[in-house]
Amino acid sequence: MEICSSNSIRNMDKDYIEKFNMPSIVLMENAIIKFLENIDLTKESFTIISGRGNNGGDALGIARHLLNKGKKVYVHILEKEKNGSVDYKTNLDILEKLGCYIRDISNTKHLETLKNNIINSEILIDGIFGTGLNKEISGIYFETIKCINENSKFTVSIDVPSGINSDDGSICGIAVKANETISFQVYKLGFLNYNSFEYLGDLKVVDIGIPKSIVYKNSDNMRFIDREYIRNKFPYRNKYGHKGTYGRSLIFAGHKGFIGAAYMVGQAAIKTGAGLVTVFTHKDVQSELSIKLNEGMTGTYNSKEEYEEFIGGSNVIAFGPGMGNNDLTFEVLNNIFNIYSGNLVIDADGINVLEGKKSILKEFKGDIVLTPHPGEMARLLGIEIKDVERDRIGIAKVFAKENGVIVLLKGYNTIITDGDKVFVNPTGNSSMASGGMGDTLTGIITSLISQGVNSFDAAILGSYIHGYIGDELSRENFTVSAMEIIKNIPNKIKELISF
């Protein structure tokens, strides 16, 4: 599914209408029909609140169909006597000829009638503002939305809850708190802002018939990852493959008190299918790790001579989990930068030691996948976590482009970007909120790169697979641990890529 800004949506509609000689009223009717297919038509009474733009046109078309189905319909139009869009006026003219109950809302005196109709209706349909809103709501519009939120039993918003900026998810003074939002054709960029979630309710994105070629052309290079993408990109196994075929993963992780991080990264890489896995850890815990990680090799990163000879033969290096934010960690990372030019996955303390030193990222000659959570990203940029979460796509894209890296910004709807293209991962849930999950993800991504997947696709695949396993396990479990994810990697990958 594509993710679009309001400007791209306008261009998409315009493109479709002009290239296919498609009347805009027909496109509006498609949206109206799809909306009706997705609401509860067992209910008998509806209050519909309309603006005078195309969102209002949708609302009035929905009112027409509900009226023709014998439903009790109350229509209220904000500042009805003012001019509106062409398609809005067409639907209003039809509705008036049908004798529908229609009332104006132009001052606070009209709100008492509106309130009574809302209270007497089973469903309220919000069609005040669509994707074009970009200013603060005030006056009668503010009071109307307040009335909706205070009195509606169940609210369904058309395309976007009125009051949400569809580009950044910010609230324009006030917004409708919908129980459901039925959005058209594409996922709105602003819906990725965590602040918008309490207003969206149950979100459905429905296809209204715009050809995929038009959608792709206007999608801003942003989309959700889906199962089809995973199947097409996954490194299927050669009949004659051997351990050398599936690559050498080199992992730098762990120190005293954090042996689990080293173990989980290594074990996740093994379970995902890397041919050979070697974990370099702190000398104080290397012997203990060797006993636990009996399907991989181990060494220590305290000695440059010891790990240096392995670097040239590796397909990928993972760096950082559990190493500690200290001088030794940065020293080892800097050494790797000086002698290696392959694929590098940097996580956890590998990111933390870059605070104030991120300029070295630009000097690396290979591919870097950086996997910060919002806190790590904020420290790296010297900003607040809330600033990262306010614009996760923008922050990740700019950082990736400026530093020549791939950014995987963790969180609900994880963002993966190379500074140009953006993929959003829909898998994963809060049952996975426990220690070791990031280490496991790093191991999965590292393993995929060692098997020949390019770094960008490995980040995309790894994120989806990791979350998919968590989703599947959480169907029967209240919480899911990192070790449970690791245990289930082989069988869940098999399940995921099966046609």
Amino acid identity of 137?
Answer: I
- Residues making up the binding site for (6S)-NADPHX: 54-58, 130-136, 141, 159, 261, 322, 373, 439
Cα→Cα distances 256→278, 287, 464, Å: 18, 12, 31
Whether 154 and 249 map to the same domain: the answer is: no
CATH number at residue 343: 3.40.1190.20
Same domain, 211 and 337: no
195 and 285 co-located in one domain: no
How many structural domains comprise the chain? 2
311-339: average pLDDT: 96
Banded model confidence at residue 27, pLDDT cuts 50, 70, 90: very high
**What domain range includes position 348?**
227-497
Same structural domain, 184 and 264? no
CA angle, residues 59, 62, 63, in degrees to nearest 5: 90
Going 291 to 296 to 302 to 305, the CA torsion angle's sign is positive
Pair 460, 384 in one domain: yes
- pLDDT tens for residues 157-190? 999 999 999 999 999 999 999 999 999 999 999 9
Judged by phi (left if over 0) then psi (alpha if -120 to 50, else beta), residue 152 lies in: beta
| Separation of alpha carbons 255 and 494, rounded Å | 34
- The angle that helices 86-97 and 24-37 make with each other, rounded to 10 degrees, is 60
- For residue 448, the surrounding DSSP H or E stretch is helix 437-450
Residues flagged as binding site for K(+): 55, 126, 162
Alpha-carbon dihedral angle through residues 477, 482, 486, 492, given to the nearest 10 degrees:
40
Cα separation, 61 vs 81, in Å, equals 18
Q: What is the mean pLDDT of residues 373-386?
A: 96
Residue 101 β-bridge partners: 74
Domain endpoint, select from 179, 194, 220? 220
* Residue 324 shares a structural domain with residue 276: yes
Sequence ranges of the binding site: 54-58, 126, 130-136, 141, 159, 162, 261, 322, 373, 410-414, 438-439
Per-residue pLDDT reduced to its tens digit, 107-142: 999 999 999 999 999 999 999 999 989 899 999 999
Q: Are residues 108 and 125 in the same domain?
A: yes
Strand ranges inside 282-409, DSSP E:
297-300, 316-319, 343-346, 367-370, 406-409
Domain termination site, one of 188, 220, 252: 220
Residues 147 and 241 in one domain: no
Q: What is the CATH number of the domain that holds 93?
A: 3.40.50.10260
- Domain end (from 156, 189, 220): 220
Looking at the structure, tell me whether residues 274 and 156 fall in a common domain: no
In a shared domain, residues 287 and 353? yes
Enumerate the known binding-site residues for AMP: 410-414, 438
